[in-house]
Amino acid sequence: MVHLEHVSVRAGAATLVDDVSIDVTAGSWCTIIGPNGAGKTTLVSVMAGLRPVAHGVVRVDDCHLAELSERERARLIAYVPQHPEVPVGMTVEDYVGLGRVAFHGVLRAPSARDRDVVAGVLERLDLVTFRRRDATSLSGGERQRMVLARALVQSTKVVILDEPITGLDVRHQIDILELLKTEVVQCGLTVIATLHDLTLAGTFADRLILLSRGAVAKDGSAYDVIRSRELASSYGMTLRVVNVDGSDVVVPVRGDGAALGDDLA
Amino acid sequence: MVVLVIAVLCGLVIGPTSISTWHIVGNALSHVGVGHSTLTPLQSLIIWQVRAPRMVLGLVAGAMLAVAGSTFQGVFRNPLADPYLLGVAAGAGLGATLAIVNIGGGNAVPTWTPLLAFVGAMVSVALTWLIGGRSLRSTPTTLVLAGVAVSALFTSAQTYLQQESSSQSIARVYIWLLGSLASASWSSIVLIVPYVAVCVAVCVLAGRALDVMSVGDDEARSLGLSVRTLRLVVVTAASLGTAAVVSAVGLIGFVGIIVPHIIRLLVGTSYRRILPLSVVFGAAFLVLCDTVARTVIAPSELPLGVVTAVIGAPVFVVILSARRLGTS
C-alpha cells in the first residue's frame, strides 16, 4: 500500500532521511520508532506527500505521490501532525468537517453524503455531545479524538499519525490507540504512526521500524525489534523487556550500560 | 444591511445644502418614471454629480479595503495584516509622488496620478511576490518580510523625491497620501468598479478555503487545499483591488484592519461570514466616516484616514469590552 524506494531527504548539507526503503502492506499497522532526531517526523511527512524528497520514489496505492494534486492526495492519505493546529472559534463539527474538503471542494458546501460521513464518525468516536462546542475548549484527550475524527472523515485507505498520543494520560493514550486498532481490524485501514512509548508501540503495531540517524536500523515484528541489540544501541542505553501477563514491557535501566550517545549498550 | 442603508442616506442627505430624504427619493423615482421630482436643477446637480459619486466611491473603496484586509488576515493567518501589507501603499505612494513632483511640477495633482499610483502599487506587489513568494519553500513569513523590504525601498525612494521637491509638492503629496473622496466622479468610479467587482468576488468566494487555511499550510495541504495556488490567487485579487481603490482615493488607513476585527468580534472567526460582511460593513463604514470628514469643519474637510481611525478605534474598543464582559 505504501511503498518507499531508496528515499533520501536533505536540508542543506544535512541528510535527514538516508536511503530508506519500506513497503507497508494494506490493512496493517506499522509504527516507526527511534530516538529524538532520528528522522521519524521527516519520514512520515514524506509519506504524506508534504515534503519533497532529494532521491527516491514514494508510491501509495500504486500512485506516484509526487504526481498527485493535493486534492487527489487527500483522498488517499489522511495525516495527523504532532501538534495539530486547532483554530479559535471553530466548532468541533466544522473542524471535523474540514476532512471532507477534498470531496466537496472549497467552492461548494458539504453535500448530504459529506454531512452523513461526519455525523457517522462523530458518533463512532463518541464526539456527538461536543459537536457544537468550540474546538479549542476540549481537553487534551477529547481534542486528539477530534483530530483523529477529522482524519477518518477523509475516508482514506491510509492514515499517517505523527506522535498521536503525546501529552495524553495513559487512559487517553490507550483510548486513541484502541480506536485506531478498531479501524485497522474492522475497516482494513492502513496505519503508519510514530511513537516514543516503546511498550505501546510494541503492543499495538503489527510491525516496528526502528529509525536511527535517518536510516532504518531494524525492521520487523514488534517481538523482534524491541528485543534487538539495535534498539538499545540507537537510544544509547540498556533496555530490558519484561513480560507482564503476556504483554511485553520495555523498561529503561537507570545507570546501567553505556552512557547516552554511545553506539552500543 | 440597515447600516448600509443608513450610510447611503447620510452620504446623500447630509451636506451644506439641506435636501430632505423624501425629495431625494422622489427625484430618484422620477428618473425611473415614477412621480415627479421636487428638486431644483441645482439640488439635483448637487445630489447626482457631487454627493452620489462621492458616496458610491466610498462604498466601493470601503468594501474593497475591508474585504482585502480580511483576506490578508486569513491568508497570512496574521491579525495585524492589512491591505497594504505587500507594498501596495509604498508603491502607490511612490507612483503618486512621481506624478505630482515630476509631471505636475508640484503645482497641481495631475491626471496621471491615479495611473502612476496604480502602476506603482502593482510593481511593488509583483516585486514582493518575485522575492518572497516564488520559491517552493517560501512561507507566508517570507512573503510578508519581502513586503516589508519592498515597502522600505519604495518609501525611501518616495522620501528622496519629496526631499528634492518644493514645499508645495510635499503638501500635495501629503494630502494625497492621507486619502480623500473629494475628487470622486462617475468616470473614476467606472474606471475602478470592474477591477473591484472581480477582486471582491474572488476574495468572497475564497471564504471556505481561508477557513481550511486556518489550520496552517501543511495541514491545509494534507486536507486537499492547493495552498500556493490559493495564496497566489487571493493575494493577487486583494492587491489588484486595493491598488485600483488607492489610485482613485489615495491611502485611506484603518478600514482594512479595523473592519475585519469588528466583524470577527460580532460574528465569529469563519471567513465564510467575515468576507461578505466585510463588503457591507466596510462600505457603510467608509461612507459614514466620509460624511463626518466633510461636515465636521465644513467648508473644510478632515483627512479621511484620520476620521476612520478616530471613529473605528473607539467602536472596536467598545465591542471588545462588551465581548469580554459577555464571556466573563
Cross-chain CB nearest to B212 (options A73, A77, A98): A98
Alpha helices in chain A (DSSP H): 40-47, 70-74, 92-97, 101-104, 112-124, 140-152, 170-187, 198-204, 222-226, 229-235
* Same-domain check for residues B179 and B269: yes
**Is residue B181 situated within a structural domain?**
yes
Q: What integer pLDDT is reported at residue B272 of this predicted model?
A: 94
Cross-chain CB nearest to B209 (options A74, A89, A106): A106
Among residues B55, B294, B53, the alpha carbon closest in space to that of B185 is found at B53
B139 vs A30, more confident:
A30
Whether residues B227 and A77 touch (CB distance < 8 A) is answered with no
Looking at residues A177-206, what average pLDDT do you find?
90
**Which chain B residue shows the shortest CA-CA distance from A97?**
B212
pLDDT at residue B175 above 60?
Answer: yes
d(CA A95, nearest CA chain B) in Å: 9
Q: How far is CA A25 from CA A29, A159, A207, A245, in A?
A: 9, 13, 10, 29
* Same-domain check for residues B20 and B67: no
Looking at residues B135-157, what average pLDDT do you find?
84
Q: Provide the domain count of chain B.
A: 2
Q: What is the pLDDT of residues B69-121, one digit of tens each?
A: 999 999 988 888 888 888 888 898 898 888 888 765 555 556 777 888 889 98
Among residues A192, A206, A181, the alpha carbon closest in space to that of A43 is found at A192
Cα gap B95→B102, rounded to integer Å: 10
* Same-domain check for residues B40 and B77: no
Q: What integer pLDDT is reported at residue A263 of this predicted model?
A: 36
B139 in contact with A at a CB cutoff of 8 Å? Answer: no
Note the ipTM here.
Answer: 0.88
pLDDT at residue A14 above 80?
Answer: yes
Alpha helices in B46-139 (DSSP H): 52-75, 88-98, 113-132
B224 in contact with A at a CB cutoff of 8 Å? Answer: yes
**Which chain A residue shows the shortest CA-CA distance from B209?**
A106
**Is residue B327 situated within a structural domain?**
no
- Lowest mean pLDDT across B2-16, B226-240, B264-278: B2-16
Q: What integer pLDDT is reported at residue B107 of this predicted model?
A: 58
Q: What integer pLDDT is reported at residue B295 of this predicted model?
A: 86
Q: What is the pLDDT of residues B29-61, one digit of tens each?
A: 787 777 777 778 888 888 888 888 999 999 999
A84 in contact with B at a CB cutoff of 8 Å? Answer: yes
* Same-domain check for residues B103 and B121: yes
**Is residue B153 situated within a structural domain?**
yes
B85 in contact with A at a CB cutoff of 8 Å? Answer: no
Whether residues B269 and A78 touch (CB distance < 8 A) is answered with no
pLDDT at residue A262 above 50?
Answer: no
Largest CA distance in chain B: 65
Cell, residue A180: 485506531
Q: What integer pLDDT is reported at residue B109 of this predicted model?
A: 59
**Is residue B50 situated within a structural domain?**
no
* Same-domain check for residues B31 and B137: no
**pLDDT band at A264; cut points 50, 70, 90:** very low
Q: What integer pLDDT is reported at residue B247 of this predicted model?
A: 82
- Alpha carbon distance, N-terminus to C-terminus of chain B: 30
* Same-domain check for residues B162 and B20: no
Instruction: Write out the residue range of the structural domain in which residue B107 sits.
Output: 55-321
Chain B residues near residue A106 by CB distance under 8 angstroms: 206, 208-209, 212, 225, 230
pLDDT at residue A222 above 70?
Answer: yes
Q: What integer pLDDT is reported at residue A168 of this predicted model?
A: 82
B200 vs B143, more confident:
B200
Q: What integer pLDDT is reported at residue B328 of this predicted model?
A: 54
* Same-domain check for residues B26 and B101: no
B139 vs B151, more confident:
B151
Cα gap B58→B190, rounded to integer Å: 13
Chain B residues near residue A69 by CB distance under 8 angstroms: 226
Whether residues B222 and A85 touch (CB distance < 8 A) is answered with no
Looking at residues B261-288, what average pLDDT do you find?
92
* Same-domain check for residues B32 and B74: no
Contact A239, A253 (CB under 8 A): yes
* Same-domain check for residues B20 and B128: no
Cell, residue B301: 474637510
Cross-chain CB nearest to B221 (options A70, A84, A87): A70
The CATH number assigned to the domain holding B260 equals 1.10.3470.10
In chain B, % of residues over pLDDT 70: 94
* Same-domain check for residues B36 and B158: no
B323 in contact with A at a CB cutoff of 8 Å? Answer: no
Q: What is the pLDDT of residues A101-154, one digit of tens each?
A: 999 999 999 999 999 999 999 998 889 999 999 999 998 888 988 999 999 999
- Position A96: which residue type? V
Cross-chain CB nearest to B223 (options A89, A90, A98): A98
Q: What integer pLDDT is reported at residue B244 of this predicted model?
A: 87
Selected residues 247-286 of chain B with any CB under 8 Å from a CB in chain A: 268-270
- Chain-wide mean pLDDT for chain B? 85
Chain B residues near residue A94 by CB distance under 8 angstroms: 211, 270
In chain A, % of residues over pLDDT 70: 96
* Same-domain check for residues B168 and B232: yes
What domains are there in chain A, each with its CATH number?
1-76+156-231 (3.40.50.300), 83-155 (no CATH)
* Same-domain check for residues B69 and B110: yes
Chain A residues near residue B78 by CB distance under 8 angstroms: none
Q: What integer pLDDT is reported at residue A119 of this predicted model?
A: 94
Chain A residues near residue B205 by CB distance under 8 angstroms: 107
B163 vs B111, more confident:
B163
Q: What integer pLDDT is reported at residue A22 of this predicted model?
A: 93
